Amino acid sequence: MKKNYLPAKAFLFLFLLMFIFLPFIPLVLTSFSYNWIWPNAMPESFSLSAWDYVLFDNSSTWQAIGVSLLIAFIVTAVNIILAVPAANAFVRYPLRGKWLFEAIIFAPIVIPPFVAVMGIHLTFLRIGLTETIFGVVLAHISPTLPYVVRAAITSYSTLSVDWENQARMLGAGPFSRFYHVVLPHLMPGIAAGASLSILISLSQYLITFIIGSGQVMTLPILLFPFISGGDPAIASSYSLLFAGMAIVALLILDLALKRYYKKKQAAAAIKGVRE
Amino acid sequence: MRKLALAAAGLLALALGACSNEANDTAANKTDDLLASDWETIATEAGGQEVNMYMWGGNENINRYLDEWVAPRLQKEYDVELQRVPVNDAQDFINQLVDEKSAGKKQGSIDIIWINGENFKAAKDNELLWGDFAGKLPNFNEYIDPDALEVAEDFGEPVEGLEAPWGKAQFVFVHDEKKAAEPPKSMDELAEWVKENPGQFTYPALPDFTGSAFIRHVLYETTGGYEQYQQPAADIEDLEQRLAPMWQYLNEIEPYLWREGETYPESLAKLDQLYASGEVSMTMSYDPALAASEVMKGRFPESTKTFLLEGGTLANTHFLSIPFNSSDKAGALVAINEMLSPEAQTAKLSPENWGDLSALDFEKLSAEQQKAMNEVDFGTATLPLEELEGNRLPELSSDYIEVIEKGWMENVAKD
């Protein structure tokens, strides 16, 4: 049995190596390079100056990472609060004109964000929401919400109402029905949606720049001018830092999820002993 | 119930909108008296203000110059806090100001912007700039000749005091001495050189700023000088015929360019990359000291040098301006004035800091200040200032640039 998996595993390993790990090597080399002239395979000498600029001389980098993560996590929390009831309604109630609501929620995937954000900017200017983290959070919801709703819908459509009915017959109120029956079933879907929401929010440049008007500094705002300006060492350092930030954000999410499952297991074990 | 909730939300939004507009009105009137007051009043009012400077943020040297040289001095001497806001493209904050204007936002956070050329024209046409402030600045009055063409006009557009010159740029070619020992001195010689060294030269595809400037040199040299283009493009009836020799020249060298001219680098940054990695032997720059600072950083080879054309190269000025709705105009005035001081301009001149040419009139400086500027070490890759100054050509106005960019697509890129 085990042998059958081997080619698949080897293929997966190669795939990860080629498309995920290898592209990072030149990025790391460039960020440390000094005097890297074609056709040398390796830079002639190494220098820490790009990292020095990004990490230490430029105090705004750390602040930008903090703001990026803060926005991403708030956006994701709001998305979950909005997406779960929405998915519930989409899957379970025979809404009239359901396709219209779905179209509105999924429109940001199809319509380029630039189109929408220009209009949002004017409106936010009038009501004084530009240049605030709150405004940027609101603006980030439109490109991220569709993914969370999509994931929650998938989870809901595999959850039969019978489970909840059974809990109801056993005397569970609406809150404990949701917490003990629905939520555990939704968890994997929510985790997938939340990961996407975090990643998409972290990588927003245009929306953050326009709504934040340069007063809300996230990491992409610092990074973009260097990519188009052509300072490869600094652009590489920032890119690696960005990748690191995204990975840490996902790890935090993963850790929270694991803790949730552990608690569940522990709770189930205790109940098992009592019975 | 549901209708009630909707109505409540709508009311709230309206109320919020009304509040923010009212709060904006009172503070705005105060700053407009600023242009009438004397410099001392302005300097006192500037104390404690936080000035946001929106500028392109893709160069470590420039960022460091502002963060580590300009900002601490402003803080110490005037108690003005300079906050640099990095932007990908000057077009971005112009769009932002257009939106703020149409939404009626009177207390904006942009206090200083770094612009020239098309962006200045767009800002001026949309009335996004505060007013005729340049004459208020002591350093402007003392060290700058307001009637000099390069200060009075920005790409053919009259400046009218709406912006103050910060520095000058001049087009130079960059070459590797080891690969091109005798650099060409005219466009004709360049064509010969390109044919003898196939694959060693190319230019950034239009509408790249520097690629477009390269083509303007071709225009000047193949069609008989810049003088004929000092009038609006619409006034020249046979413009298309006049441009024909330029397209002919570009198509003639195309097969000998990098990758046989099948493709062009999409930006100057990409061309610099090709040069840095040794794939081509020449690149170009609007910053005469950029090559020197890239050599210092170890990106360009030590044998890098710069050269001009015998007929001169294009030069332009870049400016600082204050938007109509800046909240800290006094602070902005003080900051701009400080950046025009001989000390700040001399520091800016050094390739270690930035390597940008001074905006000041050299003749108006004291002997000591002149000496300080002359002592700046440009490294071996930069040409002497006198040689640069003696070979300047004026820019074309933006209506020509549009015609050329469109024409290049049709006549060169598509063929």
Residue A217 pLDDT more than 60? Answer: yes
Contacts of A125 in chain B (CB under 8 A): 99-100, 103, 105
Enumerate residues 95 to 114 of chain B having a beta carbon within 8 A of any beta carbon in chain A. Answer: 95-96, 99-100, 102-105, 109-110
Q: Which tokens go with B122?
A: 């767009």
Contacts of B279 in chain A (CB under 8 A): 38
Q: Where does B184-255 show beta strands of DSSP type E?
A: none
Residue B327, helix vs strand vs coil:
coil
C-alpha–C-alpha distance, residues B307 and B183, integer Å: 7
When CB atoms are compared, the residue of B109, B277, B298 closest to A213 is B109
C-alpha–C-alpha distance, residues B41 and B35, integer Å: 11
C-alpha–C-alpha distance, residues A170 and A173, integer Å: 9
The one-letter amino acid at B71: A
**3-state per-residue secondary structure call for B49-94:** CEEEEEEECCCHHHHHHHHHHHHHHHHHHHCCEEEEEEECCHHHHH
On whether any CB of chain A is under 8 Å from the CB of B242, the answer is: no
When CB atoms are compared, the residue of B60, B96, B279 closest to A234 is B60
**Cis amide leading into B342 (omega within 30):** no
On whether any CB of chain A is under 8 Å from the CB of B59, the answer is: yes
CA dihedral sign of residues A194, A199, A201, A206: negative
The one-letter amino acid at B305: K
Per-residue confidence at B12, pLDDT binned at 50, 70, 90?
very low
For residue A125, the chain B residue with the least C-alpha distance is: B103
User: For A3-25, what is the mean pLDDT?
Assistant: 81
User: For B15-29, what is the mean pLDDT?
Assistant: 45
Contacts of B95 in chain A (CB under 8 A): 210
Enumerate residues 122 to 161 of chain B having a beta carbon within 8 A of any beta carbon in chain A. Answer: none
C-alpha–C-alpha distance, residues B15 and B274, integer Å: 57
Strand bridging mode B304-307 / A33-34 = unpaired
Asked if residue A196 lies in contact with residue A187, where contact means CB atoms within 8 angstroms, the answer is: no
Closest CA to B346 of B175, B85, B143: B143
Q: What is residue A40's predicted lDDT score, i.e. its pLDDT?
A: 64
| Burial zone of A222 (CB within 10 Å; 0-12 exposed, 13-18 middle, 19+ buried) | buried
A47 and B19 within 8 Å at the Cβ level: the answer is: no
Phi first, then psi: give them for residue B3, nearest 5 degrees: -60, -40
How distant, in Å, are the alpha carbons of A191, B233, B234 from that of B398? Answer: 52, 9, 12
CB atoms within 10 A of CB A239: 19
Which of B53, B60, B283 best probes binding to A when mutated, by most A CB atoms within 10 angstroms?
A: B60
Residue B199 pLDDT more than 80? Answer: yes
- Smallest CA–CA distance, residue A40 to chain B, in Å, is 9
Q: Give the tens place of pLDDT for each residue, B30-88.
A: 556 788 889 999 999 999 999 999 998 888 888 989 999 999 999 999 999 999 999 88
- Smallest CA–CA distance, residue B65 to chain A, in Å, is 12
Residue B345 pLDDT more than 60? Answer: yes
Per-residue confidence at B3, pLDDT binned at 50, 70, 90?
low
The one-letter amino acid at A172: A
pTM confidence score = 0.82
The set of residues, in sequence order, having a beta carbon less than 8 Å from that of B244 and lying 6+ positions away, is none
Residue A74 pLDDT more than 90? Answer: yes
The number of residues in chain B equals 415
Stated as kind and residue range, the H or E segment containing A28 is helix A24-32
Q: Is the ipTM of this complex over 0.85?
A: no
Give the long-range contacts of residues B236-241, CB within 8 A, separation 24 or more.
Answer: B239/B403
